Amino acid sequence: MPTAFLGAAIFDGRSLLLDHALLVEGQDIIDLMPAGELPLEVEPFDLGGGTLAPGFVDLRAVDDTGAVFGATPDGESLRRFADARARSGVTAILPTLVSDRPASIGRAVATAEMAVANGVPGIAGLHIVFAPAPPQSGARSKPMTAADLDQLCAAAAALPALMLTVAHESVTPGEVAALSGAGILVSLGRGWTDAAALRAAVAAGARCVTPSFDVDDPADACGVPDDGAIATGLSAGSVLADHCGVAAALTAGHRAGPVFLLGDVSAGSDLADAARDLIYEHGLRPAEALTMVTSLPAALAGVGARHGRLATGRMADFLHLDASGRLNAVWRGGVPV
């Protein structure tokens, strides 16, 4: 018998619905409908207020222990990582490797491939920050070679989604075009302070800017053009700590295009607190803040058909926020986490 989740506002990934119910059977959403039109053959689950929303999507899920991408590819390491992130409301992740070494990238791709092939819940693809691995994060990234380009394009063909963050010194516009043409979400990270270079990268296919771990405000650090052509990522840590003035970053980001939230090392993947801060501390409408952690990043990464929305036929990955916006419960595949 289907379960009808009701008694809360429902954010479906686009808009906030009142007096509606989410019908779930097994691991699937079978309907989203007005509560007054529910069939008799359902098991009601009264949420008692608050908001039901899609599970959060984190395009930069960083493992600060170093255990996820070990010496031997192991899909089970990603299963444990995804399970831990699900408990904080994040039901779809791009596990993130910070490295420009071909061997490390190869292991990460093999690990992600194995997890996807084994049906590990929550693994939506892979994110590679093409940069020297910590603790050498202050070092300059190496220029991308033809072999690097071939490796990354092959990885894109093997994975559901691949995001690549590149520093200014790493790539040419031609390489950005080749990467984007292979289906890679190219993100501009550290060092994009030259407006002409940034515009050339955007024209070549780069679709977002994201902060490096040592740069909190990409809208300021990268000189994002005010023409709506590119999405801007803000780290959860910056929102929670108000680094560089989140209000200014939001204003600049919205001029450039959509704004979305990312996890980071300092804040982990606690996107729920960051989204709550955007509503209660920075005055965003709930639907606007929740879009930044659900449907927007999912669509940007090309995984919006499976993640980031509540709709008939989608996987039943969703969460409940209480009346104050705090995370109360999480379901993944229709099962409480």
Range in 26-40, 126-140, 254-268 with the lowest mean pLDDT:
254-268
**What pLDDT is recorded for position 255?**
57
Confidence of residue 64 (pLDDT cuts 50, 70, 90): low
Instruction: Give the whole-number percent of the chain exceeding pLDDT 90.
Output: 64
Q: How many CB atoms lie within 10 A of CB 114?
A: 17
Range in 102-116, 205-219, 277-291 with the lowest mean pLDDT:
205-219
Mean per-residue pLDDT, 92-102: 92
Residues 6+ apart with CB under 8 A from 244: 216, 217, 220, 238
CA distance 192 to 227: 17
Q: What's the farthest any 2 CA atoms get from each other in the chain?
A: 63
The mean pLDDT of the chain is 87
**What pLDDT is recorded for position 267?**
44
**What pLDDT is recorded for position 214?**
46
Residues 118-157 pLDDT 10s = 999 999 999 999 987 665 556 777 899 999 999 999 999 9
Please tell me the pTM assigned to this model. Answer: 0.91
Instruction: Give the whole-number percent of the chain exceeding pLDDT 70.
Output: 85
Owner of token pair 């501390």: 281
**What pLDDT is recorded for position 234?**
86
Mean per-residue pLDDT, 84-99: 93
**What pLDDT is recorded for position 194?**
78
**What pLDDT is recorded for position 248?**
66
Name which CATH class applies to 3-53+309-336: mainly beta
Residues 205-229 pLDDT 10s = 999 988 765 444 444 444 555 556 7
**What pLDDT is recorded for position 282?**
85
> Which amino acid, residue 333?
G
Q: Is the separation of the CB atoms in 130 and 94 below 8 Å? A: no
CA distance 38 to 22: 10
Domain map of the chain by residue range? 3-53+309-336, 56-301
Q: Which two tokens stand for residue 116?
A: 């996807």
DSSP per-residue codes, 39-76: -SS-EEEE--SSEEEEPEEEEEEE-TTS-SS-SS--HH
Mean per-residue pLDDT, 188-194: 79
Owner of token pair 């039109």: 37
Mean per-residue pLDDT, 173-186: 97
Name which CATH class applies to 56-301: alpha beta
Q: At residue 84, does pLDDT exceed 80?
A: yes
